[in-house]
Amino acid sequence: MDSVRGQLLVAGPALLDPNFWRTVVLVVEHNDEGALGLVLNRPSETSVAEAVPQLETLLDPQELLFIGGPVQPSAVIVLAEFEEATDAALLAFDDVGVLGTSSSEEELSAGVRSGRAFLGHAGWGPGQLDGELERGDWILEPAQRADAFSTAASSLWSEVLTRKGGSYALLARMPADPSMN
């Protein structure tokens, strides 16, 4: 299967895993070795200032941390919009990607236009994401900058499905508990 780097994985209705139910995941990397993504619509209740004050010079200290996924939940990953491509970043699409861990603070902050911090990430082993896509667990949609830094994270799943249109727009309006319909 082709790489889906820079795409959104929108959880399909049959994906009931609580880690990914109704999530929107930005695929940051996808190759033969596996895939890495960040859940974009799970804000925590903790601010950058409370949890990682060393990022206050790079990010808004009042911005909430997001739960990026179940893998390495104590690791912090910064998704950023860069002024220009740099070796300090792994770009997912356009000028949006994650900061590298080996760069100096000056290198990082100089090229970052805006950013968001995530605790943990979503990860897949070789061929695992390909299998999930073939099974229909995920719905693919090209990522947009507004998705990566949405200020309405709780409605992102519905917004992306509505944008996709057709039967996906219908799915976007499905209640969380279909028995309540």
Would you say residue 136 lies in a domain? yes
Mean pLDDT on 124-137: 96
- What pTM was computed for the model? 0.92
Q: What distance, in Å, lies between the first and last C-alpha atoms of the chain?
A: 37
Give residue 178's pLDDT band: very low, low, confident or very high (50, 70, 90): low
Q: What is the mean pLDDT of the chain?
A: 90
C-alpha–C-alpha distance, residues 99 and 114, integer Å: 12
CATH number for the domain that contains residue 100? 3.40.1740.10
Tell me if 17 is assigned to some domain: yes
Token digits for 102? Answer: 């080996």
Give how many domains the chain has, as a whole number.
1
Judged by average pLDDT, the poorest of 42-46, 94-98, 120-124 is 94-98
Helix (H, G, I), strand (E, B) or coil at 109: helix
What are the structure tokens assigned to 181, written together?
Answer: 């319909």
The pLDDT value recorded for residue 101 is 67
**What is the per-residue pLDDT for 36?**
98
Residue 1 lies in a domain: no
**36 within domain boundaries:** yes
Residue range 163-174, pLDDT digits in tens: 999 999 988 988
* 51 CB neighbour count, 10 Å cutoff: 14
pLDDT tier for residue 45 given thresholds of 50, 70 and 90: very high
* Cα–Cα dist 25/138, whole Å: 10
pLDDT at 14: 87
79, part of any domain? yes
pLDDT at 88: 67
- 7 touches 142 (CB < 8 A): yes
For 95-121, the pLDDT digits (tens) are 999 987 655 566 556 678 889 999 999
Q: Judge whether residue 124 has pLDDT over 70.
A: yes
Q: Is residue 126 in a domain?
A: yes
Are 139 and 12 a contacting pair, CB within 8 Å?
yes
The DSSP code for 40 is S
Residue 74 dihedral angles phi and psi, to the nearest 5°: -100, -5
CA distance 68 to 77: 8
Contacts of residue 43, Cβ cutoff 8 Å, sequence gap at least 6? 64, 65, 66, 67, 153, 154
Evaluate whether residue 134 is within a structural domain. Answer: yes
Residues spanned by the domain of 66 = 7-180
Instruction: For residue 163, give the DSSP letter.
Output: H
